[in-house]
Amino acid sequence: MIHLTDARDALRGLIALGGPVVALILALSVLAGAVVLWKLWQFRAAGVGRQAGLHAAITAHDAGQHSRARALAEASPSHLAPLLVEALQARDPDTRDRLYTLAEERLARLESGFRLLDTVAQTAPLLGLFGTVLGMIDAFRAMQGAGAAVDPSVLAGGIWVALMTTAAGLAVAMPVSALLALLESRMAAERRMAGTVIEAALCPGLRAIAGQQVQTDRAYVPA
């Protein structure tokens, strides 16, 4: 309880020093943290990155084991499993566009909130700079009002408080940017897997042919 009280007092002191700009930056940090926690829970519930079952189903489908491929696809925890099941049942190649549309809808749901995180990452340092400019204006106005009796320590203290807003903005923007890049890389991998699922289901054996072509290209040494 004592630690919570100390943290609350420190937070109030920080807001009192930095003013409304620091309070707004802290609010953005709380919002971004809530979104990140929500995305991590959503990714875990959707089985993002758990692609082993999908690869096993595709391998079985390439080998002609269609019943086993469907069973493996249905047992996969990935959110792309229903897409693979539907692709395995497709008999008309013209359904490719519809499958890609369904895949994009699933991926779009998982990417919701990314724009908000990007906005926080871009806005936080700008708010910090805005607070610094306001603080510098107040510091130089105080210096002008003091005339010849300017106390350098007072001016330095005002500048220190002004620069604190920039530090607060960067402290929020940097981790949010890093976490957003991590989430986006996970979704890029999921988007590639969605394309692999659709094409492998509609064109069985395509991955094996591509792998043989790669091995042939590596074995070829020009004279």
Please report whether residue 221 resides in a domain: no
Going by C-alpha positions, the residue among 86, 91, 46, 122 that lies closest to residue 198 is 86
Please report whether residue 14 resides in a domain: no
Please report whether residue 15 resides in a domain: no
Q: Which is more confidently placed, 124 or 64?
A: 124
Mean pLDDT of the chain: 80
Contact in structure between 165 and 131 (CB atoms under 8 Å): yes
pLDDT tens figures, 162-204: 788 888 899 999 999 999 999 999 999 999 999 999 888 887 7
> What pLDDT is recorded for position 119?
95
- Other beta carbons less than 10 A from residue 113's beta carbon: 17
Share of the chain above pLDDT 90, in %: 36
Going by C-alpha positions, the residue among 92, 79, 48, 59 that lies closest to residue 189 is 48
**Is the pLDDT reported for residue 46 higher than 80?**
yes
Please report whether residue 7 resides in a domain: no
Residue 111 domain boundaries: 20-214
Q: Which is more confidently placed, 64 or 43?
A: 43
pTM: 0.78
Q: How many domains does the chain have?
A: 1
Residue whose token pair is 């976490």: 179
Please report whether residue 86 resides in a domain: yes
> Cα–Cα distance between 61 and 75 in angstroms, integer?
15
